[in-house]
Amino acid sequence: MKRRTFLKFGGALVAQSVIASSLLDSVFLSTAHGQTVSIRDLKNSLPADQAMILVPQDAQFASYQQAFNKRTLKTPIVRVLCSTPQAVAISIQWAQANKVPLAVRSGGHSFEGLSQGTGLIIDTRPMSQFQISSDKQTFIAGAGALLGNVYTELAKDGRAVPAGSCPTVGITGHTLGGGYGLLARPLGLACDSLLKVEMVNAKGEIIQCSADENKDLFWALRGGGAGSFGIVTKLQFKTHEVSHVYTYGMSWKVSPEVAAQLMKTWQQWAPESPREITSLMKVSRGKDGLINVRALGQTVGTENILRSELARLSAIAQPESLNIKDLDFMSSVRHFGGSFDQEYIFMKGKSDYIKQVMSDEGIAVLLKKIPSGIDVIFDSYGGAIRDVADDATAFAHRTGTVSSLQYYTQWFKEADGKAKLETMKTFHDALRPYMSGAAYFNYCDLDIKDYARAYWGNNLQRLIDIKVQHDPNNFFAHAQSIPLKKGS
């Protein structure tokens, strides 16, 4: 079998083979929960070439602390960068024996820092390997792999996997929450291409989950799996042939009345358009009372059909610009995703789902109240997302879903955070009456009170049953993990 491997991040780590701190032997860590623990056992049981242990006193600690959202950073008492599932298992057992709370970090892009913690962080970044099968139909990625690296490797064989647009997002957190991207309407969500998952469970066992083994967990991991059932160490996906696409972008600066017509027409059109086309619509407040509307997306079909479909939007108002580009797949990844360099900012996101086209009143409220500095991004559903039944995987937002809405704001000075958060919450609260009540876990939001019902809808009870069976002590937990019972 021909294999390719990249160890961009992991290679550097393994070469160092570090058990980092000279202080480590004698260090005792006071946890936020009041107990004192020694990490001597952890150090003694972890093979030096399989893990790097970092405590805050270590010189290298700070360089692994960064994550996309600077607003939600937490300082752990110890971070273990694991390069094998065995190292993950040992770390889990140590955390259990010492009652140290655990968080798991892969790509570090959680909107709410659900991969952050004050106890032990198991960090999968060193497991970033990639292998494509000899027939190119499947690939395996380590849990620490990033979307951009996976796209780059697959594109060498004219293949792709449907997943998100940001190259620095981790494939693991993304897929476990669903995984929407610009191939979603022809090819489905990232979790729909998942074939097999290797995971370390609460007993510290390395298990496989697929349509044949641990079927219940495989169901749960596809949409409900982030940080709730175990630590994923490897994922196998099917690949799809995608060599080139036509991307498009159209923009308008229009009055609220015209913006409302564009928004309504987009919602009627985008989820029902030919499934080759995936469309996003971005709405923001412009200058002089105008609204900025941008429709963008891509098709794996023909330029002619794309042009005739887009005529639905230009019939409402002539766009300031309409750009259609014929791009190879990697150029389209760079076109939408921008830089492959890690970025660290302060941000807040929220989400909603609409199951029917928004009412005129709902659109009017959105356009009246949208503050400057907040983008509302509609992601079109339908197509292959809708081919899968709502209860076939844990991802529940398929049948009849028109679109998700992502609300996004970012800032660069910490001091601006309070005002930004208040503005976002006030705006979102005003819109909730016009929405379905559902929300997307990958755009997680700690303000949602009944988050489990919002994220997983009618699949919640089955997820709870699986949680009770596989993690009855709720060892894998974060602020929005699958609870052991409803309402907890």
Ligand X SMILES: Cc1cc2nc3c(=O)[nH]c(=O)nc-3n(C[C@H](O)[C@H](O)[C@H](O)COP(=O)(O)OP(=O)(O)OC[C@H]3O[C@@H](n4cnc5c(N)ncnc54)[C@H](O)[C@@H]3O)c2cc1C
- Site of interaction with ligand X (CB under 6 A): 68, 104-111, 114-115, 124, 143, 164-166, 169-170, 172-174, 176-181, 226-227, 231-232, 442, 478
Residues with Cβ within 8 Å of residue 419, at least 6 apart in sequence: none
Considering beta carbons, is residue 249 or 319 the nearer one to ligand X? 249
For residues 379 and 402, the answer to whether their CB atoms sit within 8 Å is: no
**Alpha-carbon gap, residue 129 to 134, rounded angstroms:** 16
Considering beta carbons, is residue 103 or 260 the nearer one to ligand X? 103
Minimal distance, residue 1 CB to ligand X, in Å: 25
Minimal distance, residue 344 CB to ligand X, in Å: 10
Minimal distance, residue 221 CB to ligand X, in Å: 8
Considering beta carbons, is residue 114 or 262 the nearer one to ligand X? 114
Minimal distance, residue 151 CB to ligand X, in Å: 12
What ranges make up the beta strands (E) of 42-136? 51-54, 78-82, 102-105, 120-123, 130-132
Minimal distance, residue 469 CB to ligand X, in Å: 17
Distances (CA, A) of 207 to 63, 229, 333, 476: 31, 12, 33, 16
Considering beta carbons, is residue 275 or 478 the nearer one to ligand X? 478
Residue 189 CA to its chain's centroid (Å): 11
**Alpha-carbon gap, residue 449 to 204, rounded angstroms:** 32
For residues 227 and 104, the answer to whether their CB atoms sit within 8 Å is: yes
Considering beta carbons, is residue 21 or 298 the nearer one to ligand X? 298
Considering beta carbons, is residue 254 or 448 the nearer one to ligand X? 448
For residues 286 and 275, the answer to whether their CB atoms sit within 8 Å is: no
Minimal distance, residue 255 CB to ligand X, in Å: 30
**Alpha-carbon gap, residue 243 to 369, rounded angstroms:** 42
Considering beta carbons, is residue 83 or 106 the nearer one to ligand X? 106
Minimal distance, residue 2 CB to ligand X, in Å: 27
Minimal distance, residue 474 CB to ligand X, in Å: 14
Considering beta carbons, is residue 179 or 271 the nearer one to ligand X? 179
**Alpha-carbon gap, residue 338 to 108, rounded angstroms:** 18
Q: Smallest Cα–Cα separation from 80: which of 128, 47, 36, 113?
A: 47
**Alpha-carbon gap, residue 251 to 322, rounded angstroms:** 7
- Residue 265, H or E segment: helix 256-269
Question: How buried is residue 59: exposed, middle or buried, by Cβ count under 10 Å (0-12/13-18/19+)?
Answer: exposed
Minimal distance, residue 278 CB to ligand X, in Å: 11
The CA dihedral of 104, 106, 112, 117, to the nearest 10 degrees, is 30
Considering beta carbons, is residue 269 or 455 the nearer one to ligand X? 455
Considering beta carbons, is residue 68 or 451 the nearer one to ligand X? 68
Minimal distance, residue 40 CB to ligand X, in Å: 26
Minimal distance, residue 405 CB to ligand X, in Å: 13
Amino acid present at 318: Q
**Alpha-carbon gap, residue 146 to 124, rounded angstroms:** 11
Token output for 70:
């600077």
Considering beta carbons, is residue 224 or 319 the nearer one to ligand X? 224
- In the three-class reduction of DSSP (H, G, I as helix; E, B as strand; rest coil), residue 315 is classed as coil
Q: Output b/e per residue, 287-311; b: 16+ Cβ within 10 A.
A: eeeebbbbbbbbbbbeeeebeebbe
The CA dihedral of 150, 156, 161, 163, to the nearest 10 degrees, is 50
